[in-house]
Amino acid sequence: MRLRRALLGVLSVVLLGAAGFVFFSRQPALPAMQPASAVSFDRALIAKGAELALIGNCNVCHSKQGGAPYAGGRPLKTPFGTIYATNITPDADTGIGAWSETAFLRAMREGVRRDGAHLYPAFPYDHFTKASVGDLRAIYAFLMTREPVRAETPNNELPFPWSQRALIAGWKLLYFKAGELKPDPTLSAELNRGAYLVEGLAHCGACHTPRNHWGAEANDRYLGGGDIDGWHAPALNGASPAPVPWTSEQLFRYLTSGFEPPHGVAAGPMQPVANNLGMVAEQDVKAIAAYIGAMLGPATANRRPAPAAPEARATSRPAGGDVKAANNDGAIIYAGACALCHEPTGQRFSAHGIALTSSKVVAMADARNLSHVILEGIDPPKASPAALMPGFGAAFTDNQVAALMAYLRSTFSDQPAWSGLEETVREARQSAREP
């Protein structure tokens, strides 16, 4: 396995390197400019850019926890190493203050830095290239009128050969196709708008499409489920793990409010996305929901029916004589910690948890999301004033979380048991933020 990986690595260097140098190892540098003054942009254009930047989730990657918006510094962990999102405020030295509109458009549409170096595709220009020039100009106007923040972007932590940007030229030859997305005349205006946003600025596939060995989205499994920040981004096509099929109307409410019963809450890396979409024009989110709804397919054909409503479970059971077993008994932990909010027969209150039979994180093949939710809890979506699910990372040991997860899986889904749960929980705890 190690040898195979090593050989793949060597092969990659030779192939990508050769291809890269044949193509262009570097593009010409574009001249620096004086920072654009805010008055030189039309107010309406800035407002349009603000909405498009929210749809594009620029703030999610280009802001670090506790840092200024758009000032960068957020680490993005990839299988190749850690890449830091850059400062895209108009600071002349550390941001994009010296970038002309031409330089900005080239970065968005071709993945090239102002100085001519290739950008890593962690910056999803494979999607942004599909946006119209008019939309990209609006985003430029919005970004250049933000408060300039002086913030040096940390150096990427990429081992050789991935530290060599010339390789990206080869990558682009293989996997990058520049060009705006043209409407499909056979589709409705709404679906065309949805396709334009989902495949372009919103770059849903960057997380929800699996990636190949070279970090490119596997187009034959478009929206088939991917990875982000130690979470699984579930499939948004026919392979969706949702036990209750989504409708476009439910998707719209989920994407704008961050919560839609019976499916649950936008958690983890999806939460800031829903926060953003709650602030943009409704018709754009409706278009996104319609397009994703069409990708998911009709609710009936070869989709799993929702499991029958569960029987009422005993919400407490005696420990018996075996204290050791009680310590790691998923049923007992469920009864004492989860049932009060999640039992359909239990107490009702405003922030009642969803029935776990309709939970996608219990039903999906990947166990990481459920372990994150149990350990870290779920913050309330921005639109909701209520507190939400507390995290149990301090209360439960890894073994206890694993025991609880095994119990939830066998009780609330018709899916096969997960394996290696202790390891999954241990890794989720390492990548979890502090409560």
Partner 1 sequence: MLTLNINGRPHSVEAEAATPLLYALRDELGLNGAKFGCGLGQCGACTVLLDDRPILSCITPIAVTQGRQITTLEGLGGIDNPGPVQRAFIAEQAAQCGFCIAGMIMRAEGLLRRNAQPSEQEIRTHMRANLCRCGTHMRILAAVRRAAQAVRSARVDAPPTQDARR
Contact residues for partner 1, defined by CB under 8 A? 66, 315-319, 323-324, 326-327, 329, 332-333, 335-337, 340-341, 349, 351, 386-387, 389-390, 392, 394-397, 400, 435
- The number of angstroms, rounded, from the C-alpha of 409 to the middle of its chain's C-alpha atoms is 24
* Whole-number Å distance between alpha carbons of 237 and 224: 6
Please identify, using beta-carbon distances, which residue of 39 and 394 lies nearer to partner 1.
Answer: 394
Least separation, in Å, of the C-beta of 388 and partner 1? 8
Please identify, using beta-carbon distances, which residue of 28 and 66 lies nearer to partner 1.
Answer: 66
- The number of angstroms, rounded, from the C-alpha of 48 to the middle of its chain's C-alpha atoms is 23
Please identify, using beta-carbon distances, which residue of 311 and 322 lies nearer to partner 1.
Answer: 322
Please identify, using beta-carbon distances, which residue of 361 and 404 lies nearer to partner 1.
Answer: 404
Please identify, using beta-carbon distances, which residue of 174 and 351 lies nearer to partner 1.
Answer: 351
Least separation, in Å, of the C-beta of 30 and partner 1? 38
The torsion region of residue 147 among left (phi > 0), alpha (psi -120 to 50) and beta comes to: beta
410 burial via Cβ count (<10 Å: 0-12, 13-18, 19+): middle
Whether the link from the prior residue into 161 is cis, omega within 30° of 0, is: yes
Alpha-carbon Rg for the chain, nearest whole angstrom, is 23
Least separation, in Å, of the C-beta of 319 and partner 1? 4
Least separation, in Å, of the C-beta of 340 and partner 1? 6
Please identify, using beta-carbon distances, which residue of 129 and 400 lies nearer to partner 1.
Answer: 400
* Whole-number Å distance between alpha carbons of 377 and 388: 8
Q: Which residues pair with 83 in a beta bridge?
A: 76
Closest CA to 376 of 277, 229, 242: 229
* Whole-number Å distance between alpha carbons of 145 and 38: 5
Closest CA to 339 of 359, 318, 356, 326: 356
Place of tokens 């202790």: 422
352 burial via Cβ count (<10 Å: 0-12, 13-18, 19+): middle
Please identify, using beta-carbon distances, which residue of 139 and 401 lies nearer to partner 1.
Answer: 401
Least separation, in Å, of the C-beta of 154 and partner 1? 20
The DSSP secondary structure of 329-340, one letter per residue, reads -HHHHIIIIIHH
Please identify, using beta-carbon distances, which residue of 117 and 340 lies nearer to partner 1.
Answer: 340
3-state secondary structure of 46: helix
Least separation, in Å, of the C-beta of 435 and partner 1? 7
Please identify, using beta-carbon distances, which residue of 13 and 337 lies nearer to partner 1.
Answer: 337
Please identify, using beta-carbon distances, which residue of 220 and 311 lies nearer to partner 1.
Answer: 311
Pairing of β 226-228 and β 81-84: unpaired
Least separation, in Å, of the C-beta of 393 and partner 1? 8
Least separation, in Å, of the C-beta of 394 and partner 1? 4
Pairing of β 259-260 and β 264-265: antiparallel
Alpha helices in 62-188 (DSSP H): 101-110, 125-128, 133-144, 166-175
Strands (E), 176-330: 226-228, 231-233, 259-260, 264-265
Least separation, in Å, of the C-beta of 84 and partner 1? 21
